Chain A
Amino acid sequence: MSISKKTKAFLGGSIVPLVLVIVWQYVASSGYIASFILPSPGKVIDTFVTNFVEKAYATHIAASLKRVMIGFLIGTVSGFSFGLLMGLSRTAEKIFGPFFNVIRQVPIIGFIPLIIMWFGVTELPRIMIITVAAFYPVTLNTFAGIRNVPKEYFELSSVYGYKGLKLIRRIVIPAALPSITTGITLALGMSWAMLMAAELFIQTYFGIGTRIQLGRDKFNMALVIVGIITVGSLGFFMTTIVEQLAKALDRGRIIQKEN
């Protein structure tokens, strides 16, 4: 019997989680660690089920998803525009580049006290830090992608009279696309990471991070783990969608990689 490539990949990928769960189960049931510190996998599954039965958990997930989506979208669109501008114009690069490169060295979490002072404990600063988190990688990768467009393509374009907007739309952006989609995929990961920071540092009633906080406050580690698993799965799911979209947009070069 032959096993398909996909099944093999899935089985291969399952080994580590499976071993982890077995070790976890063993340690949890050994009694060395108090159950409120390390709940057993069974307890976590229980919490998972009860959480998902409650309608409230859906509200928390929705709140988090909304934050990530808005921040990620604004960050991606503005990052793409800014990267495009700096990539196309040496003048823009000279004006904005140094400031951008200094400011992005500051971990985003470092700005939280400041933006709370300015905007209060509201939804705005939460979305803002996710936006900034998505903005950096998209800007950097769009910029790099454009600067790395082979000069041969520009030569070809001038032979065929491609210039201005047509040149950007038909040559520059498609040529830079692999780099741009890499930036977008990274941005999504950063958005999820910063979602946690946003929800843990800027108090809110709704969000997966809020549930994790609640679990900590109540010594309910099962709740914390459920939160972690929820964030992980949602992040994985969304990243997969973005990666598939990127592949669909880039058929010609995906073939190249497979060969």
Chain B
Amino acid sequence: MSVAKGTLEIRNLSKTYVVDNNPLQILKNINITFPAGAFVSILGSSGCGKTTLLRIMLGLETSYDGDALIDGEKIEGPGSNRGIVFQDHRLLPWLTVGENVAFGLDKLNRKAKKLLVDEHLKLVGLSGFEGAYPAQLSGGMAQRVAIARALSNKPEILLLDEPLGALDALTRMYMQKELERLWELEKITMIMVTHDIDEAIYLSDKIIIMSSRPGIINKIINIPATRPRDRASSEFMQIKAEILNEFHLGSEYPFAYAI
């Protein structure tokens, strides 16, 4: 494989907040490599510091011990080489869908902007919606627009902060397929924070399981490369059981005997 851009490395990273004069360690000695072009999920219950980790990768959080590197260079702040999709779509209600997608494209002229907006709305299946306002969209559609906005900047790395957490179960599964399709098409690194185990198994090459207080990496699970994944396959179930065990939620009897 050629040296593709979009490798993110976290090295010996620790982060401590001070709450009421008491130091509270959020992240402790985190080491992860996100290979270029991979889909990696960070799985953990709330409070495990996964959002803080994402903010560090995004460049919004810059005071910590250790290193956060993109293609070998230290992250100094937010940059156009990274895109972000938040849990809430965070579209600006006073802008049209088209204007929202063009939010990060200020430096381009009108024509180039329009080209990119059209391209990315088409990519997420929302051609023709550029004149609509966010309030006219359903939750799933709004999140598609948010993804289009993040991708229109042509990032090397797309960060996803529980991107489907606010959607209903069925829409969520459709959107997981969508994310997979976009990932295969764009060939960029995607890093997703989630607490949905199925979602993580369905989408990821690698799952990083974190536990809380302080946030440490418990386990890294590599998922076999076959895609698309069958949510009902025994392989899928086995990985799920393995992850559930990590959270002490496993069945006392392995499912194979329980049937």
**Chain A residues in contact with chain B, CB under 8 A?**
152-153, 155-156, 158-161, 171, 174-175, 177, 250-253, 255-256, 259
Contact = CB atoms under 8 A, between A and B. Distances in A.
Contact of A259 (B60, B78, B94, B135): B135
B96 interface: yes
Query: Interface extent on B, as a size class?
Result: 10 to 19
B94 A160 contact: no
21 contacts: A152-B88, A153-B92, A158-B78, A159-B60, A159-B78, A160-B78, A160-B103, A160-B104, A171-B92, A174-B92, A177-B94, A251-B94, A252-B94, A252-B95, A252-B134, A252-B135, A253-B94, A255-B133, A256-B133, A259-B135, A259-B136
B86 interface: yes
Best-buried of A152, A159, A160 by chain B (most CB within 10 Å): A159
Given A160-B78, A160-B103, A160-B104, A251 B133 contact: yes
B93 interface: yes
Q: List the 3 closest A-B pairs by CB distance, nearest first.
A: A256-B135, A252-B133, A160-B104
Contacts of B103: 156, 160
B124 to A, nearest CB: 18
A259 to B, nearest CB: 6
A228 B135 CA distance: 42
A177 B95 CA distance: 13
Contacts of B92: 153, 156, 171, 174-175
A11 to B, nearest CB: 30
Contacts of A160: 78, 103-104
Given A252-B133, A252-B135, A256-B135, A159 B58 contact: yes
- Interface residues of chain A: helix, strand, loop or mixed (majority): helix
User: Which among B90, B94, B96 has the highest number of chain A CB atoms within 10 Å?
Assistant: B94
Nearest to B55: A155
Interface string B53-64: 000001110000
A250 B60 contact: no
Task: Provide the main secondary structure of the chain B interface.
Answer: loop
A11 B82 CA distance: 57
Contact of A250 (B58, B84, B86, B94): B94
Nearest to B103: A160
A255 B91 CA distance: 15
Contacts of A161: 78
A155 B60 contact: yes
Nearest to A257: B135
A161 B59 CA distance: 11
A252 B136 CA distance: 9
A102 to B, nearest CB: 34
A255 B136 contact: yes
A171 B93 CA distance: 11
A256 B135 CA distance: 5
A252 B133 CA distance: 5
Nearest to B99: A252
Contacts of B86: 152, 156
Contacts of B88: 152
Nearest to A160: B104
Contact of A158 (B60, B90, B93, B134): B60
Given A156-B103, A159-B84, 16 more contacts: A152-B88, A158-B60, A159-B58, A160-B78, A160-B103, A160-B104, A171-B92, A175-B94, A251-B94, A251-B133, A252-B134, A253-B94, A253-B135, A255-B133, A255-B136, A259-B136
Interface string B185-220: 000000000000000000000000000000000000
A158 B135 CA distance: 23
A259 B227 CA distance: 40
